[in-house]
Amino acid sequence: MFRDLLALTKPRLNFLVLLSALAGYGMARQGPLDLLRFCEFALALFMLAGASSALNMWMERDFDARMGRTAQRPMAAGRLSPGLGLAFGLALTLWSLAWLAMRINPLTAWLGGATWASYLLVYTPLKRVSALSTWVGAVPGAIPPVMGWTAAGGSLDQGALALFAVLFFWQIPHFLAIAVMYEDEYKAAGFKVMPFIQGMAATGRQMVIYALVLIPVSLWVCRLGLSGRAYFYAAVALGLAYASVAYYAAGFSGRARARRLLLASVFYLPLLFTVMLADRLP
């Protein structure tokens, strides 16, 4: 049972969520690192992301059972009861939000609650209604670095908005690549994704457009004086590489190209944040 409860939290997939939030924390931090506060924020954020994943699986358990890539999830496969999954997700939600409010600050807790609500109450049901869910879902996906920013004492200023924008534009090619790879399964389960709603050509254009726009968006950090020349060159190089893979994937001669874009997106984000943070070191 423990392994199934852990699987509900999607620990590997939520690693990027945690990474982006900790990058936001590092970018906003002033003075010496308060290691205890840093770890408390990281744990609460990771638990909140896990709670959202668990409740998402509870809401979509019947749909998950129709897709090969999700059929073995604990509730879809019947290994955990829906009641236990719901209780587990709600308990994690309450614990993490309360911890953020009491140990970090109310603003960060409020952002966490907004992320949770928009992901579960807006994005999740919208996936069965409109392909616009990809763009709507990118909003809660882009809030974690803002939470890191505010947790470290930052306000909702241009720095927070710049980090939000980087995550928002990065996510579109990332999720469209997943939609292409599993188009048939999404269709069978009743999810509305762009490849079979608007076609492959339109999907490919969106991949390329958002990857290209991500380049100047990522340089906003430099304009604000948050990073220097090393980050500038790295962001341009990484952005051009990401856009090149997106252009290659837009050919859609098989799912292999979309998989390469997915892998490129997974490498792009940690590398970008690593250089961003390293460039701030004295």
Q: What is the DSSP string of the chain?
A: -HHHHHHHT-TTTTHHHHHHHHHHHHHH--SS--HHHHHHHHHHHHHHHHHHHHHHHHHTHHHHTTSTTTTTSTTTTTSS-HHHHHHHHHHHHHHHHHHIIIII-HHHHHHHHHHHHIIIIIIHHHTTT-TTHHHHHHHHHHSHHHHHHHHTT--SSHHHHHHHHHHHHHHHHHHHHHHHHTHHHHHHHT---HHHHT-HHHHHHHHHHHHHHHHHHHHHHHHTTSS-HHHHHHHHHHHHHHHHHHHHHTT-SSHHHHHHHHHHHHHHHHHHHHHHHHTT--
> Mean pLDDT across the stretch 177-206?
84
Last residue of a domain, one of 136, 153, 170: 153
pLDDT recorded at residue 100? 96
Asked whether residue 40 falls in the same domain as residue 127, the answer is yes
Q: In this predicted model, which residue has the larger pLDDT, 66 or 282? A: 66
Last residue of a domain, one of 121, 153, 185: 153
Q: Is the pLDDT of residue 281 over 90?
A: no
Each residue's pLDDT tens digit, 199-238:
888 888 999 999 999 999 999 999 998 888 899 999 999 9
Asked whether residue 134 falls in the same domain as residue 178, the answer is no
Look over the chain and give the mean of its residue pLDDT values, rounded to a whole number.
90
Q: In this predicted model, which residue has the larger pLDDT, 196 or 118? A: 118
pLDDT recorded at residue 114? 96
Q: Which two tokens stand for residue 17?
A: 């969520």
Asked whether residue 121 falls in the same domain as residue 162, the answer is no
Asked whether residue 130 falls in the same domain as residue 198, the answer is no
Assign 254 a pLDDT band (cuts: 50, 70, 90).
Answer: low
Considering the entire predicted model, what is its pTM?
A: 0.92
Asked whether residue 145 falls in the same domain as residue 167, the answer is no
CA distance 212 to 241: 10
Nearest Cα neighbor of 248 from 217, 211, 198, 276 is 211
Asked whether residue 40 falls in the same domain as residue 117, the answer is yes
Asked whether residue 67 falls in the same domain as residue 99, the answer is yes
List the CATH number of the domain containing 28. Answer: 1.10.357.140
Structural domain total, the chain: 2
Q: In this predicted model, which residue has the larger pLDDT, 12 or 270? A: 270
List the CATH number of the domain containing 193. Answer: 1.20.120
Asked whether residue 147 falls in the same domain as residue 267, the answer is no
pLDDT recorded at residue 260? 92
Last residue of a domain, one of 128, 153, 178: 153
pLDDT recorded at residue 193? 83
Asked whether residue 109 falls in the same domain as residue 238, the answer is no
Assign 282 a pLDDT band (cuts: 50, 70, 90).
Answer: low
Tokens 């600050």 found at: 105
CA distance 44 to 109: 10
Each residue's pLDDT tens digit, 26-61:
998 887 888 899 999 999 999 999 999 999 999 988
Q: Which two tokens stand for residue 109?
A: 């807790």
Asked whether residue 33 falls in the same domain as residue 126, the answer is yes
pLDDT recorded at residue 187? 83
Domain range spanning residue 201? 157-282
pLDDT recorded at residue 198? 79
Asked whether residue 119 falls in the same domain as residue 191, the answer is no
Asked whether residue 191 falls in the same domain as residue 146, the answer is no
Assign 115 a pLDDT band (cuts: 50, 70, 90).
Answer: very high
